[in-house]
Amino acid sequence: MGDFVFVTHTSWQEAPRIRHQLARLIANAGHRVIFLERAEGPWSAISIGGQEMETRIVVAQTKRLLHHQLRVATALDWANSIIVKSSIRQQLDRIGVSNHATVINFTHDYHFLRDLLPESEVITIISDDFEGQARLPWFGHVTNNLQRTCSASNRVLALSTPLVNRLRKWCNAELFLPWSLIPYRDPGVDLTRRNSLLYWGFIDIGLDTDCIRQASVELTQQRPGWKLLVVGPTQVAARRKWTAEKLTGLPNVSVLGACELSDLPMADVLAAFIPYRRKPDADAIELPNKALQMMAYGLPIIKSGMPHMLREPFILPIDEGESINTAVDNCIKSFHAWQPLIKQFMAKHTADARLQQLGIEPVN
């Protein structure tokens, strides 16, 4: 059993993202994960020695001086580094982490990890939303910290080809796509009851509510009785309220809270519906994290936005001249013919494939 130290600005209690999924994947392979989440400031209460939140997953907090959006000057970044390094070192010593632990870094600005853990392999994973969360029009501090962090890492992985291409200016970045948490299962032959489209993911400002409204109107006109299900958590309650208000009054749209796919009427769903608005952090997405979970149920994808999303016969864009009703017609006509293709696609994006890419062997 080895130790894997996850360094992230994300709280363990937030709705699961790829860092949570990877932590569980490594823990399920028999290794111990120390998930170092953010604290609100240098005076935040810190749990002594961390807490085992799930089997082989220990969560602890590390202090910081300022939020990464505010560290626009070199002196502020330096002062923050001193506090963070000291806090990480204290927590790792309290938990009893080996000096040879592997570091999985999900931050763009922790360029000091190599100095802090000189005997460890540092794997940095850059997600598509780092610019949307961190970039401000001052001094280029985000790009500078990103370059320093990548240069100090043994390996750099990115969640989309556009990011890989950008990062290769500084390092030999590799593509690291999401994987399915559940295996493909045959959806059966009955299409007569499949009269719903499902969005399953974060309900937030990234959703294109205008696209959803347009889809709702078109379905109402041509497919009475069809439904749009919008299901998932949100990071900020006000954003969920804003999104729900945009969809108020649409009789065929239901907005539901977070739940597992297995708790939804999946036999009634014809296709996954992923209507993202055009914005920099979403435009780079190559494969949405939640798409694979829905494809495991044999569902094709109807999407808007995400111009770099993988091109497959069963992934249908509706912002390139095709209407929602034409996409639905294609799904009905080709649903069964696409199943071998979806199954083959899923076989390339398994948990075992991602462990192999990271060079992590399961513990017997």
Residue 70 predicted with pLDDT over 60: yes
Mean pLDDT for the chain overall: 88
Distance CA 300, CA 199 (A): 12
3-class SS shares of the chain: helix, strand, coil, % to 5: 35, 20, 45
Distance CA 28, CA 38 (A): 24
Residue 177 predicted with pLDDT over 50: yes
Choice between 239 and 1, residue whose per-residue pLDDT is larger: 1
The mean pLDDT value for 14-22 works out to 89
| Alpha-carbon distances, residue 127 vs 5, 85, 134, 199 (angstroms) | 18, 23, 12, 21
pTM as predicted: 0.86
For the segment 350-360, what is each residue's pLDDT rounded down to a tens digit? 999 999 999 99
Domain residue limits, the chain: 3-179+352-358, 196-347
Indicate the residue type of 340.
P
133 pLDDT band, cuts 50/70/90, is very low
According to DSSP, the residues that pair with 273 across neighbouring strands are 302
CATH superfamily of 3-179+352-358: Glycogen Phosphorylase B; (3.40.50.2000)
Q: In the prediction, which pLDDT does 49 show?
A: 65
| Cβ proximity of 154 and 279 under 8 Å | no
Radius of gyration of the chain from its Cα atoms, rounded to whole angstroms: 22
In words, the CATH class of domain 196-347 is alpha beta
| Cβ proximity of 264 and 229 under 8 Å | yes
Distance CA 82, CA 68 (A): 14
64 pLDDT band, cuts 50/70/90, is confident
Rounded to a whole number of angstroms, the distance between the first and last alpha carbons of the chain is 9
| Cβ proximity of 57 and 35 under 8 Å | yes
**Tokens (6 digits) for 363:** 């513990």
Residue 44 predicted with pLDDT over 60: no
Choose among 334, 262, 258, 259: nearest CA to 300.
334
Which percentage of the chain shows pLDDT scores above 70?
Answer: 90
Q: In the prediction, which pLDDT does 134 show?
A: 45
166 pLDDT band, cuts 50/70/90, is confident
35 pLDDT band, cuts 50/70/90, is very high
| Cβ proximity of 199 and 275 under 8 Å | yes
Q: In the prediction, which pLDDT does 158 show?
A: 93
Residue 274 predicted with pLDDT over 60: yes
> How many helical (H) and strand (E) elements, i.e. helices and strands, does the chain have?
12, 14
For the segment 88-121, what is each residue's pLDDT rounded down to a tens digit? 999 999 999 988 899 999 998 899 999 888 999 9
For the segment 283-339, what is each residue's pLDDT rounded down to a tens digit? 888 999 899 999 999 999 999 999 999 999 999 999 988 899 999 999 999 999 999
Same fold: 3-179+352-358 with 196-347: yes
Q: Angle CA(250)–CA(255)–CA(261) in degrees, nearest 5?
A: 135
